[in-house]
Amino acid sequence: MSFRKCTSGEDSERAWFADLLRRAFPEAGSENELAELAAEVLSHDGRPVHARTVRNWLRCENAPHFRYVLRVIAMAGAETVFAVLEPEADPASNRGARR
């Protein structure tokens, strides 16, 4: 018997987190650089995060634990919370919009 790895809702949540990682580490010039940097920053309290894990998150192959979601939200900025609550209110999607 075959099972789907995730549903479309989970796919969009994983894609959202991958985008959030990119926002949290804008200085990264490549996926590998981003994975190394994020792994270093997110490793703490005897819970190492490996670059391979971050690459899996960026490629939407795995979902992160909530503890990492919260830390990345904090690094990306409080306004990213609004993207979760109201996707239309996401400041990044309104770049260049008139005020």
Look at residue 27 in the predicted model and tell me its pLDDT. Answer: 94
Q: Which amino acid is at 75?
A: M
| 3 within a domain of the structure (yes/no) | no
| 50 within a domain of the structure (yes/no) | yes
| 70 within a domain of the structure (yes/no) | yes
| 55 within a domain of the structure (yes/no) | yes
What pairs with residue 55 in β-bridges? none
Look at residue 99 in the predicted model and tell me its pLDDT. Answer: 30
Look at residue 31 in the predicted model and tell me its pLDDT. Answer: 97
H or E, element range at 62: none
Residues of the chain below pLDDT 70 = 1-8, 83-99
Classify the C-alpha dihedral 57-16-21-72 as positive or negative: negative
Look at residue 45 in the predicted model and tell me its pLDDT. Answer: 81
Look at residue 77 in the predicted model and tell me its pLDDT. Answer: 86
| 99 within a domain of the structure (yes/no) | no
Look at residue 80 in the predicted model and tell me its pLDDT. Answer: 73
| 1 within a domain of the structure (yes/no) | no
How many structural domains does the chain have?
A: 1
Look at residue 1 in the predicted model and tell me its pLDDT. Answer: 35
Q: Which amino acid is at 47?
A: R
Look at residue 98 in the predicted model and tell me its pLDDT. Answer: 36
- The reply to whether the predicted model has a pTM over 0.85 is no
Q: What is the CB neighbour count within 10 angstroms for residue 97?
A: 7
Domain enclosing residue 75, as ranges: 8-94
The radius of gyration of the chain's CA atoms, rounded to the nearest angstrom, is: 14
| 43 within a domain of the structure (yes/no) | yes
| 45 within a domain of the structure (yes/no) | yes
